[in-house]
Chain A
Amino acid sequence: EAAVTQSPRNKVAVTGGKVTLSCNQTNNHNNMYWYRQDTGHGLRLIHYSYGAGSTEKGDIPDGYKASRPSQENFSLILELATPSQTSVYFCASGDAAGGVNYAEQFFGPGTRLTVL
């Protein structure tokens, strides 16, 4: 089964500070994704990547940057954190090949970020 890990699992940051959330996957998936999930709600796509060196904007990219230095690693960067970015952040990976599995995403355990 796909293995996606995230670090840190919990983070408290101050307003205006820089925060980096890291994600690592060991299944050689081309595609990786960053989502945020607010209490009781669905997933909102922030950034995604089709492979090393590529990043694409999702539905809510403002205030976030992404970096994909390698096939395995995908980072989400908050240059100037704000309290509105308090949320749970999930990283996911998925296969880029065709077929039904193309839509299956494998999620990491999540990072709970609190910005004070």
Chain B
Amino acid sequence: QQNVQQSPESLIVPEGARTSLNCTFSDSASQYFWWYRQHSGKAPKALMSIFSNGEKEEGRFTIHLNKASLHFSLHIRDSQPSDSALYLCAVRGNNRIFFGDGTQLVVKP
């Protein structure tokens, strides 16, 4: 059974800061890695994904993946109050998707 863990559980940062969220997984055969964002009272929505080692950037968001260390991360540059949300990482393995428990991010103006 895949074990997906996120850290930290919660995070408060000032506006303009660089924010880093972490996700570890246990199955080295995992193939696809996603970050989802869920604003308060809303449904989760896919933010961005990566499937090969390295880095992928989309605007202020960057994903890093290191399969050997069973770790991927999301970095937010110039964090904005609108980035305040629950961030969920997701890993595909064993023919289904496994979600972490989430990191609650608050960006203070």
Contacts and interface: CB of A to CB of B under 8 A. Distances in A.
Nearest to A91: B43
Most buried by B among A41, A42, A48, A106: A42
A94 to B, nearest CB: 8
Interface stretch (B61-69, B75-83, B98-106): B98-106
Contact of A90 (B44, B46, B104): B44
A42 B46 contact: no
A110 B94 CA distance: 26
- What's the dominant secondary structure at chain A's contact region? mixed
Interface residues of A, number: 18
B92 A42 contact: no
B32 A103 contact: yes
Interface in A28-82: 40-43, 45, 48
Contacts, number: 49
B49 interface: yes
Contacts of B12: none
Nearest to A44: B99
Q: Which among A41, A103, A109 has the highest number of chain B CB atoms within 10 Å?
A: A103
B51 A43 contact: no
Interface of A: 40-43, 45, 48, 90, 94, 100, 102-110
4 tightest CB-CB pairs across the interface, nearest first? A42-B101, A107-B43, A103-B32, A103-B92
Interface of B: 6, 31-34, 42-46, 49, 51, 86, 88, 90-92, 96-97, 99-102, 104
18 contacts: A40-B86, A40-B104, A41-B101, A41-B102, A42-B99, A42-B100, A42-B102, A43-B99, A45-B99, A90-B43, A90-B44, A94-B97, A100-B51, A103-B91, A103-B92, A104-B34, A105-B97, A107-B43
